[in-house]
Every structure is written in structure tokens, then in C-alpha cells.
Amino acid sequence: MNTTTIENHTVSSKPDATIFNIAAPAGRVLLALMFLMAGLNKIGQYQGTQAYMESAGVPGLILPIVIAVEVIGALMLIVGFKTRIAALALFGFTLVANVLFHANFADQMQMLMFMKNTSVMGGLLMVFALGAGAYSLDNRNKQ
């Protein structure tokens, strides 16, 4: 493990393995839940979601793709399968959703949604950078 001492504090370049192995799957599940629930909700509220998309100038015909990205991406994160690809895809999806649907900062709720999504994007970048962790299909496939 690479370490550096700064003013009597040791800083490790790698996270403690035990903490990482517990936090990584928990973090993946918590990040994925938002996308999974949103995708499933879009299925249940298909016509309303399609109308909302079209009111923002987004073709309602792409709704099946939106649902697939959210649901499949979330499931990939949960089980840790192709985790970096899933995190990057969900990052891009969230970035586009932010710009198209939540960039009206005059509306406090939209600003809050924008900031929440931006925070989620930060979490997705961390998953992309650090990978799935020990308890994942990605790690199982390495063995």
C-alpha cells in the first residue's frame, strides 16, 4: 500500500479493504435504487411520462430507451456487472436529464433536482473510478 506522511498524518492511496468491500456494494445499491425506481415508475406511468418528455421537446418515442437505460443500468450496478460501463452510462444519462429537464434554476424544485442529480453523478464517477469492489460479478469474473 502506498502511503504518504503529511504533518504526522498518514494518508493511504488505497482505501482500507474491509471498509471498501462493505461500502462499495452498499453504495452501488443505494445509487442504483433511484434509477431502478424511476425506470419502473416510468413503465407504470407510461403515457404521463411520454407527455412530460414531449412537453420538454424530447421525442416520446425514446421512452423505451430511457426505461432500459435506467432499469438495466441499475441492475448492472446492483450486481456489479460491467460496473464501470453502467456507471458511465448512468452518468451520461443523468447529465442529459439534468440539462433537458432540471436546468430552470428560477424554479427552486428544479434547482434542487439538478443539484441532487449532480451529487448522484459524483457518486457514479466514484464507482467508475474505483470499480465494483470485491462483492460483485466483475470481481467474480476475474477469479
Contact 35, 71 (CB under 8 A): yes
Which residue is it, cell 466514484?
126
Q: Which of 35, 17, 19 is nearest to 90 (CA)?
A: 35
So what's the pLDDT on residue 123? 98
Q: Enter the pTM of the model.
A: 0.85
Q: Kindly give, in sequence order, each residue whose CB lies less than 8 Å from that of residue 85, ignoring residues fewer than 6 positions away.
A: 76
Share of the chain above pLDDT 90, in %: 79
What are 135's three cell numbers?
A: 462483492
Helix (H) or strand (E) holding 69: helix 63-79
How do the domains of the chain map onto residue ranges?
17-142
Q: How far apart are CA 95 and CA 88, in angstroms?
A: 10
So what's the pLDDT on residue 141? 73
Task: Give 2's pLDDT tier (boundaries 50, 70, 90).
Answer: low
Write the Ramachandran bin of 7: left for phi over 0, alpha for psi from -120 to 50, otherwise beta: left
Least trusted range by pLDDT, from 1-5, 65-69, 78-82, 122-126: 1-5
4-49 pLDDT tens trace: 544 554 545 666 888 888 999 999 999 999 999 999 999 999 999 9
